[in-house]
Amino acid sequence: MEYNTSLSKLIIPEYGRNVQKMVHSIINIEDREKRNHQAKSIIEVLGNLNPHLRDVPDFKHKLWDHLFIMSDFHLDVDSPYDRPSKESFEEKPEMLKYSDNSIKFRHYGKILPLMIKRTIDLDDGEYKDFWYSLLLII
């Protein structure tokens, strides 16, 4: 009996093991025309498995990228889009720069001190009293 724990790890688990087996089987097809036809059939299957992707602009491009990723970039077919490189998917994005502002009361965030400052700058009257009462509730 064949257990999934003893099999190779799925590259894109959302598509399942059968789709991954189909992708690996077309890599070994010698005839380029037949391989292209099989790749287009797999793209249709991927589109049917993910109907929510049809709302995404250029969803076919995403499906072709997934096909190349599942084949570990070994698949040689005529894609209507540029063939992605393995390096472009392995690149790490730039680190985000975080602000160096130290917040005195972190659980209030930055908004509460700004509200206090703006309330102090308001002219005396009902509006200022209203904001004071709001700040007291917080």
Whether the full predicted model's pTM is greater than 0.75, yes or no, is no
Which residues, including other chains, have CB under 8 Å from residue 76's CB and lie 6 or more apart? 32, 35
Are 75 and 110 members of one domain? no
Domain span including residue 112: 100-138
Are 104 and 77 members of one domain? no
Number of domains within the chain: 2
- b/e 57-96 (16+ beta carbons within 10 angstroms → b): eebbebbbbbbbbbbeeebebebeeeeeeeeeeeeeeeee
Are 114 and 69 members of one domain? no
Are 41 and 75 members of one domain? yes
pLDDT in tens, the chain (138 residues): 888 888 888 999 999 999 999 999 999 999 999 999 999 999 999 999 988 877 778 888 999 999 999 999 999 999 999 888 888 888 888 898 887 777 777 787 888 888 888 888 888 888 888 888 888 887
Are 74 and 128 members of one domain? no
